[in-house]
Structure 1
Amino acid sequence: MSTARAERLVNLVLALLSTRQYLTAERIRAIVPGYADAPSDEAFFRMFERDKMELRELGIPMETGRNSSFDPVDGYRIARRDYELGEIELAPDEAAAVGLAVRLWDSPELTGQAEAALVKLRAAGVEVDQQVPAPVQPRVRADASFGPMLSAVQQGRAVQFDYRRSGSPERRTRTLEPWGVVSWRGRWYVVGHDRDRNAPRCFRLSRVQGDVKLIGRAGAVQRPDGVNLLDFVAASGEPEFDAPASKARLWVADGKAAGIRRGARVIGRRTVAGIEGDEIERNVYYPDSMAKWIAGYGPDVLVLEPDVLAKAVHERLSALAHPGGDRR
């Protein structure tokens, strides 16, 4: 990805996140740095469509809607409830580690562009929500293989690369038809069809060794319909994915557990212990990892089915409540 495009995507995220209004494509073109360079309307709309697709591939939730019934076209925004992190409490040593990470990963170039975008938004009269503190904006350097993998996805080409599995120094050559590149919990993954195993897999980019080789003709790789890449990686639990999917039914408190909600299907409403929430259904690929993930949300998420998953979550919560004790 070019620096100019990366800066434009950052500007677009800030624009959509910093307003409560829905911004039309034409408004975005006028106020977001990077779009004014488009030589024609057609070129702008192609650029904007690619950027929207890119943000969705990265797991950034974009809403489409209109500010009133009189608006002739749809607009776009990013809802804070889906994007922001919840309240975080850090121990002193953890806070020091976060501060060091910010100093190491911060990019003066992108920071300057971000500030310029906010200034231009205010100058253009866009309503900026100043009552809520700004969300955490992680700045993480991409792995060396990020660019080639993303290029392969955009071109629809297969790739070959050497890969090191966790806990092993051995390298193995993989041939993958990539469907997309996503970020999950601070790490980048590529998801696609592994030709060597004839099955879907995801690979952590930090474990890719050496150069990534693009092979085959452009357009030969097509992403299957109905595949949620972020959900795929989140449910895998490990850098490689080989478990068949099953269904789980969960209760999630209103306004909580956005990560669990993403990729799930709402099937009803339910009240638990006097708290309103949604009943959702989602795929489970790796039950043990899913149990750890759900347990991390505490009382905000309750497993309704299957019983084996509910028991696994209960055991993990009991272990946290009674460390070293008898949990029978």
Structure 2
Amino acid sequence: MAVHKSERLLNLLIMLLVQRHYVSKDRIRAILYPDSSTEAFEKMFERDKEELRSLGVPIEVGNMDAYFDDEPGYRIRPDEFALPDVSLTADEAAVIGLATRVWEHARLAEATTEAVRKLTALGLPLDVGALDIAQPRLSADEPSFDVFWEATQERTPVEFDYRRAGATTSTTRHLEPWGVVRYSGRWYVVGRDTDRDEERVFRLSRVQGEARRTGAPGSFDIPPGTDVRATTMRLAPQPTLTRAVLLVRAGSGLALRRDAESTEPGVTGPDDRTGWDRVTISRSGPGVADEVLGYGPDVYVEEPASLRDEVVRRLRAVVAEAS
């Protein structure tokens, strides 16, 4: 199933990223493809490697033994994977969207933990710190996310009930999904609305109930030259920009620091257990509170007051629900 494929791709990426040496094909098969036949494993492994490579993941092939070249091994070097700012294609942006929700999406978080647990149990030398390259904090809480993501990969039509902004009732829509994109703090699916025969963008948080795949995989082709992100930016509502001043615990908030407008080190923070830095960021859309909450006690909002109030309100709601 497609869910297993998504988990398998992530597990393969994690396995090759956290190990310090090349990993043999036999070991990869034993850990990630244990129930597959030799023929099925060869096909899936080659397909998975090529899919990761096509999305910008630098899988390196080398010899397991410096004196013998009969058994190739595989790895992902963290220094090559941690790329500087680059311009992403629609496909690359899509895989980043998937990768950045690994630690926040319950099902894939379990897959990540399980992959590391299996490798640790085998006594393999791991560099788990390599997983901090992205330090992802994006959430994908919409129940329909998986359905649309999987349908995009399979090129399977989707049927769903959708309620537009300001509407009191929902309507059933039919879509050939081209991609799932995070834009302005929200998740959108882009594709061809088959009822209207037009390209459309739908916000996933407005999907009512469960989205349903209808039809067989490979039922449609994505138009050549389609740029899913550009289409989303053209059709989705224009974002509003939020400027926030944050106190960030020293050694935390790597993603916040990476594109910060300014960073002031060594400031007074909410506690004295560690040092603190003042980080100023600008974000579009309503997702700033989500991002801040993802860092827990390592980030404190100084400005604006409206953002701080929203974070406090949501934290109190969590405490009230748990009590």
Q: Provide TM-score, normalisation by structure 2.
A: 0.49
Q: Provide TM-score, normalisation by structure 1.
A: 0.48
